[in-house]
Amino acid sequence: MFKLNLKIAFRNLWRNKTASFINVIGLAIGLASCLMLLLYVSYEWNFDKHFKEAGQVYQVMTNFKDANGKINGTGDVTGNVIAGAIKEEIPGVEAISRLGYGGQSLIANGSSSFKKEAKFADPDLLKIYNYEFIAGNPGTALNDPKSVVLTERMAKLLFPDGDALNQSVRYDDKTDLKVSGVIRDLPSNTSNRFDFLMPWSFYETLFDWVKDPSWTNFNWQTLVKLDKHVDLNLVNLKMKGMMELHQKDTRAESFLYPLSEKHLYGKFENGKGVGGDVERIYLFAGLALGILLIACVNFMNMATAKSEKRAKEVGIKKTIGAGRGSLIAQFFLEAMLLTMIGVLAAIAMLELLLPTFNNLLHIQLSASVLNGGYWVWILLIVLITGLLSGIYPALYLSSFDPIQTLKKKAVRAKAVPMSLRQVLVVGQFCFALLLIIATLVIYKQLSFIKNRPLGYDTNLLVEMPQDGLLQGKYELLRTNLLKSGAITSMCQSSMSISNEGSSFWNFEWPGMADQDKQIVFNQIATTYNFIKTNGIKLIQGRDFSRNFASDTAGVLLSSSAVKIMNLKDPLGAKVKYHGQDAVVIGVFKDFIWGSPFYSDRPMVVAYSKNWNGVVTMRLNPANSLSQNIDLIKTVTKNINPAYPVEVKFVNELYAHKLQAENTLGVLSNLFGGLSIFVSCLGLFGLAAYSAEQRTKEFGVRKVLGASMLNLMQLLSLSFMKMIFISVVISIPLGYYLMGKWLLKFEFHTTISWWIIGIAAIGTLFIALLTVSFQAYKSARANPVDALKYE
């Protein structure tokens, strides 16, 4: 029986090629989206969970409070002494380690040197993470201050043809370290990634500020592994007063948060978790399931539209003794078969498109074909999809009464619930239209933000890290670069102009009120030519200049800073910056430093020779780009030979800020396009079927003198009505939802009528094109062909 049903199912698929094609393509697209979603979710879900006993690992988080004791921020940073305190005061701590960020640091093996991600940690980190050691002893790897643990990739890079263990590498062109271990590469869904890991004891020898015990220098992370029987709530109760106990006047308190939840639920408001990246999963799930649902609806619609054909078969089978169960089973089998074919196509699609998709979303998914769990999920999806798309046709078709279907002119009109089909089509197009409106609004918002005046000139602006000797020999570098003609101006600063990096409070100025101490300012430290190099607009005063010796104690204020400080005459005002006396020498127009969607804090640009980190240069427009870059590389390498030269374009760095919204735009564009495509496939199938059914009617009408246009209208109108209803439903809905989305941003565009117009007219046009193709075909047919039967 099963074999026969399978055979019949195949023959049915073959006989109705258009319908099968539409169903398979639709299902394949829907399933591919779902499989993609599955990979994505499992990638995100397993963030920080891939090592042993990951559930017992916690991150020490800190809540920051304002003067009134209200929590106004939560972060994963701590001082460097809380680890010791927790170890002593909290029972059940199995391991605890501080984690220091080394950034992109130089690591060299005699001949070749690389800049790679570095981290510093206590030896306990190896107990927390259970790294898989390829070489070396995890128990002792970080005990010696002059040791380093490499990842497998790093080890291969440094020692391409040999054993890395016990070899010597040079860190930061200063210190020789012995390789004490090589571990397997960390999966990309790990929060604390590094290429090489060095002992905290070594870290302390590098910087005094690391060595000085501090509760409030929030520069590091702390990871804890607790015994599995420990109650987190009790621990956190004890943690609550810990900081204030040790350090009077702090306005912060720490608590433990599961490390594995940090990635997806890393957003805090008022000290309480309020979701986070998990929203991206919800969004993606909604989109993928939506597409799959559209494909299932296509299947249902095609199956029920064909019901007249199938009804006869059902009737006959019932008279020769088929029970309803066996008929339902047969129709399910057909749905499953189609889904299976769809899933095969989907897997092929997935393999093909995954790299592109990874690029779009900046993640690293891989379809692990060998993974048994993956196949179980696929099977589950096939089953659910088959059930979803098969259940309605199976129940509906198997319910036919034999006598109605076998009598020649069966009362079909009543038996087919046209209205449900219409509702489903309307639903499909509503979903598609919503996505199209969303896409248009997101892109409009992006272009709005891109057009916001930056406040500095990114054109021909490049920067590079101020590594190694570039700090001491900055003046030499400047002279040589200017002489080479590669640049017209340059400055050093504490951080990049492209991205917000530092803030402070307790700024003092004449006439301030007491609570003004709480105002948080952004800060950049620089030396000369900051304004000139970056192309920032000066409103009053001047840039830092060598001509004024007193400028070394000067600050520049942003115009919003002047406003909030309420300075009538800012130039020459005497302020206290980090307790040091300083004089305001200039006021510049605000520029975008943080998120371009929101306004920045007021800003102070101060003079400091020692707080440096980034060299910003304006390229010489007289030369070509590559010429300039080559010159910069040569000159820099001469001065600072140990380090590779990394020149970055500031406009590219700036573009990263729009990444999340860009991704959203790409996703809604992709899924919007797909859903319109799959919906139109379904519409095409329905129109084809309707045209086939009305061949005779068309023939009669043609004989009676109907023109081709009359006939095309006849067929198209009934379909266009449904699309029109979808437009009417989805436009106010889209307007409302996207309006709400826009309100999330301080700077946002408005939804203009042309967006609605394009979405509505575009959809109507595409749908019309789809339907009229069929209408044209059947209107063109020779009426004799239609009428000669019977």
User: What is the four-CA torsion angle of 541, 544, 546, 549, rounded to 10 degrees?
Assistant: 80
Nearest residue (CB) to another protein, 12 versus 498: 12
Burial grade of 209 (CB within 10 A; 0-12, 13-18, 19 or more): exposed
**Of all helices (H) and strands (E), which one includes residue 478?**
helix 474-484
Is residue 403 a contact residue for another protein (CB under 8 A)? yes
Rounded-to-integer distance, Cα 300 and Cα 302, Å: 6
**Of all helices (H) and strands (E), which one includes residue 651?**
helix 650-655
Q: For residues 15-54, which are near another protein according to CB under 8 A?
A: 15
Q: What angle do CA 772, 700, 790 make, to 5 degrees?
A: 115
Query: Locate tokens 């602006």: which residue?
Result: 461
- Shortest Å distance, C-beta 679 to another protein: 29
Rounded-to-integer distance, Cα 657 and Cα 499, Å: 8
- Shortest Å distance, C-beta 51 to another protein: 55
Rounded-to-integer distance, Cα 537 and Cα 302, Å: 64
User: What is the four-CA torsion angle of 457, 460, 466, 468, rounded to 10 degrees?
Assistant: 180
Nearest residue (CB) to another protein, 201 versus 404: 404
Is residue 402 a contact residue for another protein (CB under 8 A)? yes
**Contact present, 566 and 511 (Cβ < 8 Å):** yes
- Shortest Å distance, C-beta 295 to another protein: 24
Is residue 761 a contact residue for another protein (CB under 8 A)? no
Bridge partner list, 121: 99, 199
Given 110, 323, 453, 641, the residue binding another protein (CB under 8 A): 323
Neighbour count for residue 314 (Cβ, 10 Å): 23
- Shortest Å distance, C-beta 278 to another protein: 48
**Contact present, 350 and 25 (Cβ < 8 Å):** no
Helix axes 659-693, 418-450, angle to 10 degrees: 150
Given 69, 162, 321, 579, the residue binding another protein (CB under 8 A): 321
Given 152, 313, 661, 692, the residue binding another protein (CB under 8 A): 313
Given 240, 267, 317, 532, the residue binding another protein (CB under 8 A): 317
Is residue 213 a contact residue for another protein (CB under 8 A)? no
Q: For residues 253-312, which are near another protein according to CB under 8 A?
A: 312
- Shortest Å distance, C-beta 758 to another protein: 46
Q: For residues 405-424, which are near another protein according to CB under 8 A?
A: 406, 408
Is residue 393 a contact residue for another protein (CB under 8 A)? no
**Contact present, 647 and 467 (Cβ < 8 Å):** no
Find all residues with CB under 8 Å of 298, minimum gap 6, and list them: 22, 23, 26, 428, 678, 679, 681, 682, 685
Q: Choose the stretch contacting another protein; rule: CB under 8 A; options: 9-17, 186-194, 204-212, 573-581.
A: 9-17
Number of residues this chain uses to bind another protein (CB under 8 A): 24
- Shortest Å distance, C-beta 318 to another protein: 8
**Of all helices (H) and strands (E), which one includes residue 170?**
strand 168-171
Given 240, 324, 542, 576, the residue binding another protein (CB under 8 A): 324
Nearest residue (CB) to another protein, 413 versus 622: 413
- Shortest Å distance, C-beta 311 to another protein: 11
Nearest residue (CB) to another protein, 314 versus 343: 314
Q: For residues 498-517, which are near another protein according to CB under 8 A?
A: none
Is residue 532 a contact residue for another protein (CB under 8 A)? no
- Shortest Å distance, C-beta 399 to another protein: 11
**Contact present, 729 and 430 (Cβ < 8 Å):** yes
- Shortest Å distance, C-beta 319 to another protein: 5
Nearest residue (CB) to another protein, 2 versus 753: 2
Interface contacts to another protein, rule CB under 8 A:
1, 4, 7-8, 11-12, 15, 312-313, 315-324, 326, 402-403, 406, 408
